[in-house]
Amino acid sequence: MAAQIKLKLQGLLAELENELRALGWWEQQAPSAQALQSQEPFCIDTLEFAQWLQWVFVPRMSAILKSGHALPSQCAIYEAAEVVYQQQLGQVTDLLECLKTIDQTVSAPLQSFH
């Protein structure tokens, strides 16, 4: 994995945490193990989207970055967030921008970072 991509994504994950904290959506108490093991996309049946971001997405992406494993070939979290937060678009503008940048960074061809 290109060092530039790794550094950019680490910064974006920190920005994502900051955005969730600013919205008051960063939680101190983890959901139950059962809730985290949902088979549904984004754990939609057991977690709020912000919980999924905090307890599933951020840890998984961080683990991928630390391990050096390949990133997913695409990422479409922005689209899901846009649907989930359609009634709050004014409130979540910065969060959505952060997620869009994460999607673009993960999905961008490697050549664009050389």
pTM score above 0.85: yes
46-90 pLDDT, tens digit each: 999 999 999 999 999 999 999 988 888 888 899 999 999 999 999
Residue 112: pLDDT band (50, 70, 90) is very low
Q: Buried (b) or exposed (e) across 2-40, using 16+ Cβ within 10 A?
A: eeebbebbeebbebbeebbeeeebbeeeebeeebbebee
CATH, range 3-26+41-113: 1.20.1440.40
Average pLDDT score over the chain = 90
Q: What percent of the chain has pLDDT over 70?
A: 94
